[in-house]
Structure 1
């Protein structure tokens, strides 16, 4: 297993399932995971072509450092059953289920696919948020993700980011309570706006998220840099651990007591991959 797949992904890059000529670039982008999209990025008359392209690409048996995720169409759509049938031929993989609103949906997907299939539940509606604890506890769930654009549409939110604070916090709490990795934040639609990306990452991190979906390869490296601890944070963490190892009793760093939560935070900072680490 590669380093990228051994650790919890920070970045999930979308690529349209009906654009196989873009697959290689997506998997070479440095993203920790690549989402081959069969849903929103693919027009209805291209759904079958997207499934065939994914199957053909997987049949080539190419080794890629990034984890493969497939976003299928939701279970109320006309394409759901055909998506599941196509995925059964691919072997174990990670599936992203859009419009997740109940644990039974997760169970249905897992039961229809080969053993070992894992599900990323995409919470993007009021109903999904109200059921998020049960969804997070479903056995097949690997991680939760927040579909911010669809959630905002469902509730009629404005562009004010304060409207996302409560649902983001609820999703993070449900993830933690269920023992899941920190959830995945939604996309930043402004591809060339690094300030918008930084604002979105800042809000997500403030709510307890640990990863983000991207819609363009150029967002990946910037995202990794934004998620990574700063040199100043790494220096602080190193000094905390050094002080703890050298001391025989209570120790202080920068005038503050070093207790167990501080030690755990310092260890997590030093364990986090540097920003320059490719996916």
Structure 2
């Protein structure tokens, strides 16, 4: 799928699959996408209840993503059956480590379902390009907390940035949308969330996973273009088109095709 096929989603809100009373609220939260979670947010003894609640609530007019349990776990085969349902807009696959993981999931779905692999292990990072190029992969997600646990990292600043850059480049090479960054655990600290969201955008990420509706406005604002960026992009596009593709000056700076493409990507991100 090309990066320009559909508008870039910025905020992805997790909702525990065993809390159906929260599903509708999540849909009205302002999140660009809602993920009904059957994995980390659900205790083992509640997995079956969560699957039943998700299956009962799904409807064509409420398209959502569903995070299944990882391939190789006892719950995976049962969870993967939900991928057959047309009201499931996509499947979030945790602990993705190879193209075979994606192929197995799509095979069980028996339809063209979008897949969002969560890169959460060293092996997942190592094989990220083959994962990104697997059939029906829409977008990579970076499971930062699980990744740190897997490799024994204790990030306090820039330790994960090299991997963010790697996933951004891989996504571009594979021709899929920009990756989605991991969660911020601080729910009430808007300053921390804003800083982490801004960092993700700076490293080429297109959005962020959220664990609470409070986080959505900040994430949407940080990953969306500012008014100044939007106005600049409009000026660049108009000037470049008026010049029939030739290099032209905007705001005292030369604009050639790479700059135009950057401006167009900003406009595309908001459907302008």
Q: TM-score, normalised by structure 1?
A: 0.89
Does the 8 Å CA contact 1:92/1:115 hold for their aligned counterparts? Answer: no
Report matched runs for 1:37-76 at 5 Å: 37-58=37-58, 61=59, 63-64=61-62, 67-76=63-72
Question: Paired residue for 1:258?
Answer: 255
Once residues 258 and 232 of structure 2 are traced to their aligned partners in structure 1, the CA distance between those partners, rounded to angstroms, is 14
**In the TM superposition, what is the alpha-carbon distance from 1:14 to its structure 2 partner?**
0.3
Gapped regions of structure 2 (runs ≥ 5): none
SS at match of 2:13: strand
Instruction: Give the length in aligned residue pairs.
Output: 266
Report matched runs for 1:18-37 at 5 Å: 18-37=18-37
Question: Paired residue for 2:84?
Answer: 88
Q: RMSD of the TM alignment (CA)? A: 2.0
Once residues 215 and 171 of structure 2 are traced to their aligned partners in structure 1, the CA distance between those partners, rounded to angstroms, is 25
Q: TM-score, normalised by structure 2?
A: 0.91
Once residues 76 and 162 of structure 1 are traced to their aligned partners in structure 2, the CA distance between those partners, rounded to angstroms, is 32
Report matched runs for 1:137-148 at 5 Å: 137-148=133-144
Once residues 83 and 179 of structure 1 are traced to their aligned partners in structure 2, the CA distance between those partners, rounded to angstroms, is 28
Gapped regions of structure 1 (runs ≥ 5): 275-279
Q: Which stretch has the larger CA shift, 46-55 or 186-195?
A: 186-195
Change (3 A) 1:158 1:18: same
Does the 8 Å CA contact 2:83/2:108 hold for their aligned counterparts? Answer: no
Does the 8 Å CA contact 1:148/1:187 hold for their aligned counterparts? Answer: yes
Once residues 256 and 179 of structure 1 are traced to their aligned partners in structure 2, the CA distance between those partners, rounded to angstroms, is 29
Q: Which stretch has the larger CA shift, 81-90 or 35-44?
A: 81-90
SS at match of 2:175: coil
Counterpart selection for 1:272 from 255, 269, 272: 269
